[in-house]
Structures are given as C-alpha cells and as structure tokens.
Amino acid sequence: MKICMIGTGYVGLTTGTVLTELGHEVFCVDKDKDKISRLNKGEVPIHEPGLSELIIKNKQRNNLHFTSDVHKAIKECSILFITVGTPPNEDGSQNLIALDEVVETLAQTITAHKTIIMKSTVLPGTNESVQETLIKRGINHGLFDIVSNPEFLREGYAVFDMMNPDRIVIGSHSEKSIKLVKSLYRKLDAPYVVTSLTGAEMIKYASNAFLATKISFINEIARICDAFDVEITDVVSGLATDKRISPHFLKAGLGYGGSCFSKDLRALEYTARQKNIITDILISVQKVNDTQTDLYIKKLIEKLYDLSDKKITVWGLSFKPDTDDIRDSRSLHLIDKLIEKGANVYAYDPIVHLPSSKITCHQDIYESIKGSDALILATEWSEFQKVNWIKVKDSMEGSVIVDGRNVIDPVIVKKHGFHYIGVARP
C-alpha cells in the first residue's frame, strides 16, 4: 500500500520506516526542507537504535521516500498518517498549530478517497473535530474516513515497539477503515482493540497517565521506605510477583522525564477541568515527580552542608538511556537546582553534549569527576555500571555518590570508600 506520513519527527520517521519493513511504500513528508535533504542523504536526525539501518535499507529498495511536497504526496497515496507534534501551551492545553495546518492542507488537496490515520497524540474529541472541520471546509463525507491509531513507542526501543506492539488500538466509525488498518499491520502479531475515535484518544492518555502514576507511586513508597531503612528493591520484588501489579514501571528514581508523560498528564488534567472534573490523582502524580529531585538535593546538602562553590558532577543528561532526547530530562532539572544553590556543575553523557555556559560538559567520563565533591548519577546509561570505581575515587576530591537510578552496586562502591546515597537503599 502507498502511505503518506505527514510529519517526519520522531513518531513519523519511526512509524514510516517500520511500515516499509512491513511491505508498504511510504512517503515521509516534512516542511523542514533541510531535514528532508539530510534524510535523503542518509543522515538520520535522531538517535534511535536500529532506525538508521532500516532507513538506508528501505531507501535503497525504493520503498521509503522523503519529500517536502505535501500536496503531491497526498495525491499519490490513499492512506495518510498524521504524525505532527502537539506540544503543550503554558496552561497545559495542546498547541494545535501544526495539526490545523495539516487539516487545511487536506481541505485544499483531497479530491479522491483518503483514509486519514491520526497517530499524533491528541486530546479526546480532537479527531471528531478534525472530521467536522473537513466537512465544513467542503470535503464530502464520502471522500474520507478518519481513524485514531495512537502510538505507544518508547524512545530507545521505538523500532522494537513498533514491530512488537502489546496491542494495536483502532478508533473508527467505519468498518472499511478498521479492515484497512488491520491489513496495514497484518504482519504484526498483536491483539486489536477497536473502539470509537474518542475512545482511542482516551486509551492513549489513560496509558501514559497510568504509567506515570506507577512511577510516582513507587517514588512515594520509596520515601516511606527510606524513613524506615527499608530496601525499595525488596519491596518491588514483593509487589512484582503479584500478577495484578506486574513488575514493570516500578523503578524508583529521580522521576519521569521525556516529551510525553508530563505533557500528557497536564493536558489530560486541563481537558478534564474544562468538563469540571478535578483530577486529584493526576495532580498528585505530577507533584511527587516535581519534588523528587529536590529530595535528593536535600540529601546531598545533608552530606556536604552547603553546595555553594562545590564541584558536583552529573552523569547522564538525556531523559533516559539510549536516546539523545533531553526534553524534560530530570537531569537538567537537577542541574538547574544545583546551579541555583551555587554549585559548579560538571557533566558527562555518552551521547549528549550540552553547549552551555552554565555547566562544563566533558566528553571523557573520568575527566568529568576530577576534583569533584560529589557525583550524581541521573540517567542509567549501561556505561555507568562498568566504570572503574578505584579510578573514580582517586580522581574525586570528595566521596559522595547519589545514585538517582539505583543502578550502582552499593556494596562495591562502599568497599572503595564512597558514601553511597541511593533511592531508598539503606
């Protein structure tokens, strides 16, 4: 099938590329001409394991095309995916400028039947309103069908998740479109959840809200464990064996970051408020997350007394390992707070290099800890578990390690004379 992917960001590029692997021909469109020309030269703008290889392979097979000519691509394909960004506004609502522009382009271009598949994360009611807009703009009802087909891709595992989904959600009023979407994904082995347009939008938000809730829940439990000198990993093992709970998303740490959880929770809270619903749980989930870095700065101050003019090294800048994405990274929140307290911050990340005048970013892990009073591990890159702790100890001035992701073995570092602070790890 010929597919047009409108928006070649993280979701569009990954979805489009994997669809070529599933045997389709995909035209990835973006108005950023520079990005398109780089992609046409084989330069991939994001760090996502396995993606570059698939892009190069399918470009060579002539299955995958990159273009800025949206009108031509829409004309050429009968299946159109919308994969544009829906960033947050100040008040938590969604900025729909990019989506409105796409709808306007569709209104100007559609002359033959199109199945329009929404992958962008949009608030409940948005797909219905896109449908109404197209009709108001003069596109005959029979000329298009809208399907809501949200993505559940984790950065760093996006190709794997796209190939091995836990479920495929299809929101649509049209039997024909439901069949068509199922045939698009026929090579994938996953159950389908078929619902209304708005039902699919709600599934996406409820999923992210639930995952974020699990993280804030375990971080709150970790706070209590800490007060009683209880090891959080033991408590999680006890929870994980209960099938009703599942072991996933129960890693205590500095909290969740990334482009989705905070944004989606705020948007859901906003949209509920519009309907006079107060979302106490969603508000608390965000509150726990927002205060988690303060808690560990407080623990650091208890050890160093004062952070002013102290040299603090932070390992990990991306919001999680295996990505170069720093959006809403807990590490950057932590760094801002350390700077506020007068600390001199040095940082190291395996792939992110921040050109910032506020911190000193090193490209060598051991250089980054020379003369440091304390080390904070903010992102659990696997590289950090393989470091030579003797070398680290010899280079540091102080001996405090804050393991914000509970990935260092406390027994080993304590043996080397470190003072270890983990997340509820007495």
The residue ranges that bind ligand UDX (CB under 6 A) are: 151-155, 208, 211, 215, 249-251, 253, 256-258, 260-261, 319-320
Asked if residue 204 belongs to a known ligand binding site, the reply is yes
The single residue of 28, 77, 225, 260 carrying the catalytic annotation is: 260
Name residue 395's amino acid. Answer: S
260 in active site:
yes
Q: Which two tokens stand for residue 36?
A: 């398109």
Give long-range contacts, CB 8 A cutoff, 24+ apart: 263-269. 263/87, 263/88, 263/328, 264/121, 264/204, 264/205, 264/208, 264/209, 264/212, 265/208, 265/209, 265/212, 266/88, 266/92, 267/88, 267/92, 267/93, 267/94, 267/123, 267/205, 268/123, 268/205, 268/209, 269/92
Q: In this complex, which beta carbon is closest to ligand UDX, that of residue 145 or of residue 269? A: 269
Annotated ligand binding at 341? The verdict is no
Answer yes or no: is 250 a known binding residue: yes
Judge whether 252 is annotated as a binding position. Answer: yes
Instruction: For residues 274 and 211, give the distance between their C-alpha atoms in angstroms, rounded to a whole number.
Output: 23
Ligand-binding annotation for 99, yes or no, is: no
Minimum separation from the CB atom of position 356 to ligand UDX (A):
20
Can you tell me the distance from the alpha carbon of 50 to that of 33, in angstroms, rounded to the nearest whole number?
A: 24
> Closest separation between CB of residue 157 and ligand UDX, Å?
7
Nearer to ligand UDX, 35 or 251 (CB): 251
Q: Return the number of the residue (38 or 214) whose C-beta is nearest ligand UDX.
A: 214
Per-residue CA distances from 94 to 140, 197, 268 (Å): 28, 18, 10
Q: Give yes or no for a contact between 268 and 278, defined as CB atoms under 8 angstroms apart.
A: no
Cβ distance to ligand UDX smaller for residue 13 or 36: 13
Q: How far is the CB of 246 from ligand UDX (least distance, A)?
A: 11
Residue 293 CB, nearest approach to ligand UDX (Å): 12
> For ligand UDX, which is the closer residue by CB, 11 or 73?
11
CA proximity to 301, closest of 348, 342, 333: 342
∠ CA(308), CA(337), CA(408), 5° rounding? 95
The minimum distance between CB 174 and ligand UDX, in angstroms, equals 25
- 188: how many CB neighbours lie within 10 A of its CB? 14
Binding site annotation covers 121?
yes
Cα separation, 153 vs 159, whole angstroms = 8
Binding site for NAD(+): what residues are annotated?
30, 35, 86, 121, 155, 263, 327
Binding site for substrate: what residues are annotated?
152-155, 204, 249-253, 257, 320
Residues assigned a catalytic role:
260
